[in-house]
Amino acid sequence: MTSPESPQHSSATGGTGAVTHLNAAGAGLMPESVVAAIKSHLDLEARRGAHWAAADARHALEDTRILAARLTGAAPTHLSFGEQASRLWALAFASMPIQRGDRILIARNDWGGNIVNAVRRAAASGAEIVRLPMTAQGRIDVEQAAGLVDERTVAICASAVASSFGLRQPVEALGAIARPDRCLYFVDAAQAIGRFDVTLPGTSADVMVAPGRKWLRAGRGQAMMALSDRALSRLAQPVIVDQSAGAWCADDDFIPHEDARRFEAWEFSTAARLGLRAALQELDRIGLATVRAGIDDRLRRLAAILCDIRGVTVFEDANAEAAFLTFQHAALPATNIVDELAARGIAVASVGLDYARWELEARGLERIVRVAPHVDATEEGIVRLSGEVGRIAYAAAQGRGQ
């Protein structure tokens, strides 16, 4: 299960080994280099103050922008930072001109926050929400989607991987569909950046967002947004600006920056930003191909074991570009499974209607269990998870007298 290039839980991450962590799709365990970068800067802030410490780190902060831009395939001038990917998405979406009669095409399995913001904006502007068609396998049907795009289309929105279903979506093919010049293509890459090779030019996206805390393992509070030339032009006047996002003129006019910094706030955690830098450097050191192969290997092993447990249904094909696995038990609620595993020191997650209503309702589900190992997951941890799921299922069956 491991290789010399695959970091181990005890040495390459900041964890103690007390918890079997299989929730990288929620928040990956920070490598030791990330923890050290954050702590080091906090120590510097304690000695010199936050402003001087940030000034000392200005070159490292610019390096973070360069590294993030390289990962997303955007120019550094087209890369914006924020505290939360969904807030960056919402800020860009709210800044886009929309009028009555416009159409917003959005995937049913896009991130719940994106859907809610799109629905609210459509209701306020008189635009129409159209759900992108899906195949029986749970992927966006690109051929049918192409037939929905016309001159009324102002936005196309999709996630590279949904939070509730691990199969990679065809965002590259979706981006290749001809669209009006005023139409912006939004790709939420939260479950893809650091897991797959997904870039702004590769998807032909205009807006791409991703947090640092998931597959990049950078900790909470840091996210990035990559923008195309078309997006910078169409989003010239952000709906909300910070005083550092441009120039406050003598006549009280405000001229936003020409580049993506127009979406940034002056206030941010320098320590967390440097933690993101360390995470990007760690990914460069290991190599995305190694990360991807390591996670794929763990998913295949995990799927094989889980599928052998009576009553368990795994929803993804581990051999078909899955970022993670989701499953349900025929008789046990997902929350019970997650809580029971947590009591045994195993961290997984559940996704319910509050985050993925459209997708789960379309599949006749209310909540699923999500398992997302990173390359710091060991063979022992995967076997332990599977064994505990089996024991939980067996105990439930015994309690029902089966």
Please report the pLDDT score of residue 17 as a whole number.
Answer: 52
Q: Residue 2 above 80 pLDDT? A: no
Taking CA atoms, 258 is separated from 78, 235, 245, 263, 381, in Å, by 10, 10, 9, 11, 49
252: phi > 0 → left, psi -120 to 50 → alpha, else beta; which?
left
Q: Which amino acid is at 15?
A: G
End-to-end CA distance of the chain: 35
Q: What tokens does 246 get?
A: 């441009």
Alpha-carbon distance of 299 to 186, in angstroms, equals 28
- Longest distance between any two alpha carbons in the chain, whole Å: 79
Alpha-carbon distance of 332 to 20, in angstroms, equals 21
Q: Are 131 and 158 in contact (CB under 8 A)?
A: no
9-22+287-399 adopts what CATH topology? Answer: Aspartate Aminotransferase, domain 1 (3.90.1150)
Please report the pLDDT score of residue 6 as a whole number.
Answer: 34
71, HSE (Cβ side, Cα atoms, 13 Å): 33
Q: What tokens does 44 get?
A: 């510097």
DSSP string, 31-96: BHHHHHHHHHHHHHHHHH-HHHHHHHTHHHHHHHHHHHHHHHT--GGGEEEES-HHHHHHHHHHTS
Percentage of residues in the chain having pLDDT higher than 90: 91
Alpha-carbon distance of 115 to 276, in angstroms, equals 27
Q: What tokens does 181 get?
A: 């010049």
Q: Residue 3 above 80 pLDDT? A: no
Alpha-carbon distance of 283 to 291, in angstroms, equals 8
Q: Which amino acid is at 214?
A: K
- pLDDT band for 319, please (50, 70, 90 cuts): confident
Q: pLDDT tens digits for 340-389?
A: 999 999 999 999 999 999 999 999 999 999 999 999 999 999 999 999 99
Q: Name the packing angle between helices 270-286 and 58-72 (round to 10°).
A: 50
Dihedral pair phi/psi, residue 120, rounded to 5°: -65, -40
Give pTM, 2 decimals: 0.93
Average pLDDT, stretch 86-93?
Answer: 98
Exposed/middle/buried for residue 243 (C-beta within 10 Å: 0-12, 13-18, 19+):
exposed
Q: Residue 7 above 50 pLDDT? A: no
Average pLDDT of the chain, as a whole number: 93
- Close Cβ partners of 342 (under 8 Å, ≥ 6 residues apart): none
Q: What tokens does 125 get?
A: 């502007």
Please report the pLDDT score of residue 18 as a whole number.
Answer: 76
Q: pLDDT tens digits for 264-309?
A: 999 999 999 999 999 999 999 999 999 999 999 999 999 999 999 9
Q: pLDDT tens digits for 125-176?
A: 999 999 999 999 999 999 999 999 999 999 999 999 999 999 999 999 999 9
Please report the pLDDT score of residue 402 as a whole number.
Answer: 52
Please report the pLDDT score of residue 59 as a whole number.
Answer: 97
Q: Three-class SS string for 95-132?
A: CCCCCCCCEEEECCCCCHHHHHHHHHHHHHHCCEEEEC
Q: Where are the domains of the chain?
A: 9-22+287-399, 33-284
Q: Give the residue from 276, 285, 269 showing the smallest Cα distance to 79.
A: 276
Alpha-carbon distance of 135 to 169, in angstroms, equals 11
DSSP string, 238-277: -SS--GGGEEE-TTS-EEE-SSGGGG--S---HHHHHHHH
Taking domain 33-284, whether its CATH number is 3.40.640.10 is answered by: yes
Exposed/middle/buried for residue 230 (C-beta within 10 Å: 0-12, 13-18, 19+):
middle
Q: pLDDT tens digits for 169-219?
A: 999 999 999 999 999 999 999 999 999 999 999 999 999 999 999 999 999
